[in-house]
Amino acid sequence: MNKNYRIITINGVRGIITAAFVICGLIAGFIISPGWGCMKLWNFAFHQSNYFSEINMYQGILLWAIIALSLYALNNKRPLIGFGTCQGLSKEQIKDIMERARTSQLNQLKEFEIMSKKIENSDNEVKTSDVEDLKEKKEMRN
């Protein structure tokens, strides 16, 4: 089980208000603000142009969505922004893991050998008891 799971609990009205505040902040920070910036940039760049009209806030958000989704689609599976670090294993850690795997495998083999010997012994006991039973039956017949 992964011990890095985070559980979010919302308790009462204060929790609901806090969750709503966080969601509104995320929407404002990742959707509305960049949309407003795209709207201002578009209107500034094409202010004197007769070919393009000015856009409103809704169209700025749509322009931002087009830009963001295009960057995501053309990303080639490489993240533009990375959070955290990728930690590789050192040589000692790899050796330790391999050694534990070998000892685990050896322990399993030993257990299989012990179990197979027990099964063979139980088969031999059954065979010898069967032979003794047959001898007794023959003696009783005679």
Q: Mean pLDDT of successive 10-residue segments in the chain (142 residues)? A: 70 90 94 94 87 91 92 72 67 87 86 81 64 67 62
| pLDDT computed for residue 86 by the predictor | 58
Q: How many domains does the chain have?
A: 2
Residue 78 lies in a domain: no
| pLDDT computed for residue 38 by the predictor | 94
| pLDDT computed for residue 108 by the predictor | 86
Question: Do residue 16 and residue 49 come from a single domain?
Answer: yes
| pLDDT computed for residue 83 by the predictor | 64
| pLDDT computed for residue 134 by the predictor | 64
**Structural domain for 53, as ranges:** 12-73
Residue 2 lies in a domain: no
| pLDDT computed for residue 22 by the predictor | 92
Looking at 24, 47, 73, the residue that finishes a domain is 73
Residue 101 lies in a domain: yes
Distance CA 133, CA 127 (A): 10
Cβ-proximal residues to 47 (8 Å cutoff; 6+ apart), any chain: 54
Amino acid at 66: I
Question: Do residue 94 and residue 56 come from a single domain?
Answer: no
What is the residue whose two structure tokens read 């393009």? 52
| pLDDT computed for residue 136 by the predictor | 72
Residue 137 lies in a domain: yes
How many Cα atoms within 13 Å fall on the side-chain side of residue 129? 6
Q: How would you class 127 by CB atoms within 10 Å of its CB: exposed for 0-12, middle for 13-18, buried for 19 or more?
A: exposed
Question: Do residue 26 and residue 63 come from a single domain?
Answer: yes
Question: Do residue 69 and residue 97 come from a single domain?
Answer: no
Phi, psi (rounded to 5 degrees) for 128? -70, -35
Question: Do residue 65 and residue 108 come from a single domain?
Answer: no
Residue 52 lies in a domain: yes
Please tell me the pTM assigned to this model: 0.47
